[in-house]
Chain A
């Protein structure tokens, strides 16, 4: 099991738990209990029941015929956009809220970039009657207004992160600082980032995506293995879920797509694998964008969900070992891909997911190549951006 973390939470040289002593008891409690909880019958029963009846899983695996025709391959879309709350994020929040309940926690905190994780967290907190505080960068609060309104309607308190670049990285810093000062809270991290055991726990909870994919492909094509899986990567949770059950099968090509912003080398980008170097961010050793003195560089992407200067340690390892191919898409390319999918398939994708679609024109497919694009979220939250960039 080459792509599973070791007992200290390392994937090769990446991972670990680089946390201040103040957080040690919290993280240790989670580390000691997460596997037992996740594997317990009680957890599994409730998790599966909620995923089916509350989230609406399994999400469809849809053969996108017109998209396939256009790119000369057999392209399926894994429809995470059809989940309750509009993205894959809820798979994780349902799981972690049950973990939090098993640990006896009553107060939940979370960080959010695009607001999808914030909404998914506020949703499960409403469902479970738990107090919810979401940290969100001031910049993101402005560009993702509908999600802010949703969180508030769901009863969550939204706290603006006003330090640094005022985006996802800073929201995460503020959540961690709050956690240090309120150790009785449960920190519900939204991606495969943070100290061990979060990257592994979140990957396991998102793994339902590739588990379903296997069964659906088997039924629809006779073969549970596709040739290629494409997913966008910010922190990397939807990609981790879409790749999970295929990680050890190297016949399946994995493509991770990062946000290149205005261009990889424009100085306005979030393409961590291309620009980053080994370092520590948010408690994890991984690849991150930093200057020559180790100061973390502020990333940029039109997509708030991909606007993160690191990647999860699993992805750093997939990049280093070349198990996954890392590609990227600019703001423009993502917008174009979003419009294309909308026009030919009638699906408005999230800006994040549009980055995954945007590499289709860059790949030379073999005839009959089976490709799954993980459509991680829907585009409702991005309508304002789409309208502003409406093709003239």
Chain B
């Protein structure tokens, strides 16, 4: 498997896809990952379904609820990922909520990530101050990197601080919003992307939240190393299951 770092060095216009583990069916995880890899998705975000996903809109909330009803849990998702660790060629990013890590056990969780081929975490409710006080050390011990989010309301001073702490990439949240496709990208969003771009940050940038199709993906790529599509892909899965993944990805590129 290539590391995330290599991918960022080698390519531009990176496409990342988010899906909820256990959705639409409990055992779709590995199929979805291999389909995405076969269609040249550059890296993959695996979402851990959570009972109370505060940063997520209705589409991902619903997929989480279905995944939990399907019986998905951390032990199962780690087992599924371990099974494809040797064959999977694309970097995996795990997205979940802090309470899942806390309850599973911090060290046990990190160890399981390592054994499952995960190198990067996105925990939207892990704030910077807690990261600096504790989690930076913990993640470092296991060679894991952490992704911070920035939004149109994040101050320049704070963006600089996040840039300094970033080892993976900065997740540029496209609007003051929870996850979910919104259609077009507005002029004020463009202004915000330009502002971030001209800050000349050392970190790579990925734009997400509201990226849903070829047009929004292309626009996002003008200002960042690439973009993440989540809710739009979940909608595709709920419509066609895993059978049309290739068509969906081709429609984005």
Contacts from A to B (Cβ < 8 Å): 8, 16-22, 24-25, 163-164, 169, 173, 176-177, 180-183, 277-283, 288, 290, 292-296
Contact = CB atoms under 8 A, between A and B. Distances in A.
B126 A18 contact: yes
B99 A24 contact: no
B103 A293 contact: yes
B238 to A, nearest CB: 17
B151 interface: yes
Contacts of B155: 25
Nearest to A16: B130
B68 A295 contact: yes
Nearest to A294: B103
Interface of B: 50-52, 54-55, 57, 61, 65, 68, 73-75, 97-104, 124-130, 148-151, 153-155, 158, 173, 176-178
Given A25-B155, A296-B51, A18 B103 contact: no
Contacts of B128: 21
Contacts of B153: 22, 24-25, 183
A21 B149 contact: yes
A21 B150 contact: yes
A294 B52 CA distance: 10
Contact of A280 (B68, B99, B129): B99
B127 A294 contact: no
Given A19-B127, A293-B103, 20 more contacts: A17-B127, A18-B98, A18-B127, A18-B130, A20-B125, A20-B149, A21-B128, A21-B148, A21-B150, A22-B173, A22-B176, A22-B178, A24-B127, A164-B65, A173-B54, A181-B176, A277-B103, A279-B103, A281-B99, A294-B101
Contacts of A183: 153, 176
Contact of B51 (A181, A283, A295): A295
27 contacts: A17-B127, A17-B129, A18-B125, A18-B126, A18-B130, A21-B124, A21-B148, A21-B149, A21-B151, A21-B173, A22-B149, A22-B173, A22-B177, A22-B178, A164-B52, A173-B54, A180-B54, A180-B55, A181-B178, A279-B99, A282-B54, A290-B99, A293-B74, A293-B104, A294-B102, A294-B104, A295-B68
Contacts, number: 102
A22 B151 contact: yes
B15 to A, nearest CB: 23
Nearest to A288: B99
Contact of B103 (A25, A181, A292): A292
B173 A280 contact: no
Contacts of B101: 294
B154 A294 contact: no
Contacts of A292: 103
A20 B51 CA distance: 16
9 smallest A-B Cβ distances: which pairs? A294-B103, A295-B51, A294-B100, A21-B149, A294-B99, A280-B99, A20-B124, A296-B51, A20-B55
A16 to B, nearest CB: 7
Nearest to A293: B73
A22 B99 contact: no
Given A293-B74, A295-B68, A280 B125 contact: yes
Nearest to B126: A18
